[in-house]
Chain A
Amino acid sequence: MSLQVRNVSKEFENRKAIENISFSTERGEIIGILGTSGCGKSTLLRAVSGLDTSYSGDVLLDGHVCKHVDERLGFIFQQPRLMPWLSVIDNVSFGLNDRKEEKQEKAGRYLDLVGLKGNERDFPKQLSGGMAQRVAIARALVTSPEYLLLDEPFSALDAFTKMKLQDLVLEIWEAYETTILLVTHDIEEALYLCDRLIILKGQPGTIDEELFIDEPRPRSRGSAKLAAYKEHILNRLELTTPVN
């Protein structure tokens, strides 16, 4: 039960975006992929998800090479990407293939989980950004994926909503033992959520450091230990951004 990335490289029109990325996850681990803009975080996540298949190297799911989208994977994008013509509940049940009542029942359960009970019949245009992102989270969870891929899922949200949704992710993680791969450029978010951080650096992006966050949960956002980690990461990353 693990996700393994082996020597993954990806080239766009003769320009390398990522080079030789390798790491593996344990079941139920939360891994953060941290790096400055343009270092290939999204590229890596798209390769893992199978949305992009034109990469070299292997992605292994539970020990088998997997080069296509797989139902064991769920993806939460940076934008909610809801279907505007579907009601909230139909958006959540979009990926389900059950009978209608079952779909509605499941979708309703997950909407409840993200705190949107009562908004089932709304349409995306009636939702705030944070609500829409919560619907997207419910949509990704409803198929019970074993692995969740998140690409800067909260970066467009205000600080309060962001913290709430981070806690929501932790709740989900606790309840379902999901293995989570979280791309972010928010160091505090990464430190609050992750067991391990993979720091990407350079262009093409390569793994610069793997960092275990040795802090028991529940973590305090203001803890001194996390602040020390932050200091370390900042130092690490500043090497990559030349002062102009």
Chain B
Amino acid sequence: MARQGHSEALPLRRLVRAPNKKKLTVHPAIIGSILPILLLFIWEGLSRLDVLPTYLLPAPTVIVNTIIELGADGSLWGHIGITLYRIFLGFLLGSGAALLLGSVVGFYRKAEQFFDPIIQAFRSIPSLAWVPLFILWMGIAEASKVTLIAVGVFFPVYLNVVSGILSVDRQLIEVGKMYGLSSFQLVKRIILPASLPSFLVGLRSGLGLGWMFVVAAELMGASQGLGYLLVLGQNTYSPELIIASIVLFAVLGKLTDAVLKKVESKSLHWQDRMEQR
């Protein structure tokens, strides 16, 4: 019996067997959704039985209703729209600047010596510490928010671009040199494609930070946006509004990440990766 238990613990064995056994194959998404659904039911039940105080934690159905109402009166689209607009602009600016500066620093040793110390110094400042200064400089309108998001997005993208370029296989560059490629051609035909995976990783973690900073930016004062709904919910004692906003953040964050992931797997199909088995 002990032997059997042992062999079942070996993941390899399952992998090998899976194809020829026609046991019911449960999609991993289904397994993964069992627990959340169960918890939702318990939560709903407890709320209906008045075990959970509704002024602190309203039932899931109440939250869903809040979202539906917001959608019905049209205000939801404005909030989502402005939040997406801010993150899109900040993401574009931040990752664009990071790509530019990261490429220069990656390609030229001299540029690295010149730029890297100051960039590392700025990196050690927690980005939220910029908030008061940005508000002072640019007011509370869009500019300061977009800047904050851009700053948040910049660093992960920058770091990944630089390390991507620095870790390009020297052997591949030699192949290019053997065919007499110029520096520009080397960049275009070898260095850029070879560092693309790292750049995309940077974009994805940059986007994650972008979502974090859009919340911060909207908390610090906004008249519209999902972050504004958080503040509104706090001020009007409506937890359902806060949780609705959190849910929307989660859904949007996941959706935008899925878009990037799609781009990644489309453009990196040539990679020999564990994930693809």
Residue positions of A touching B, CB distance < 8 A: 49, 51, 69-71, 73-75, 77, 79, 81, 83-86, 94-95, 123-125, 143
Contacts and interface: CB of A to CB of B under 8 A. Distances in A.
8 contacts: A51-B174, A69-B180, A75-B178, A77-B171, A84-B270, A85-B270, A94-B179, A124-B270
A84 B180 contact: no
A74 B272 CA distance: 28
Interface of B: 171-172, 174-175, 177-180, 189-190, 193-194, 196, 269-272
Contacts, number: 48
A84 B178 contact: no
A85 B193 contact: yes
A83 B171 contact: no
Sorted nearest first, the 5 A-B pairs with minimum C-beta distance are A95-B179, A125-B272, A85-B270, A85-B193, A123-B270
B194 A94 contact: no
A125 B271 contact: yes
A83 B190 contact: yes
Contacts of B190: 83
A83 B271 CA distance: 11
A71 B270 contact: no
B193 A49 contact: no
A51 B176 CA distance: 10
Given A79-B171, A83-B190, A85-B194, A143 B179 contact: yes
Which of B171, B175, B193 has its CB near the most chain A CB atoms (within 10 A)? B175
Contact of B175 (A84, A94, A124): A94
A69 B178 contact: yes
A191 B179 CA distance: 30
A71 B171 contact: no
Contacts of B189: 94
Contacts of A84: 270-272
Contact of B193 (A69, A73, A83): A83
Contacts of A71: 179-180
A79 B269 CA distance: 22
Contacts of A81: 171-172, 174-175
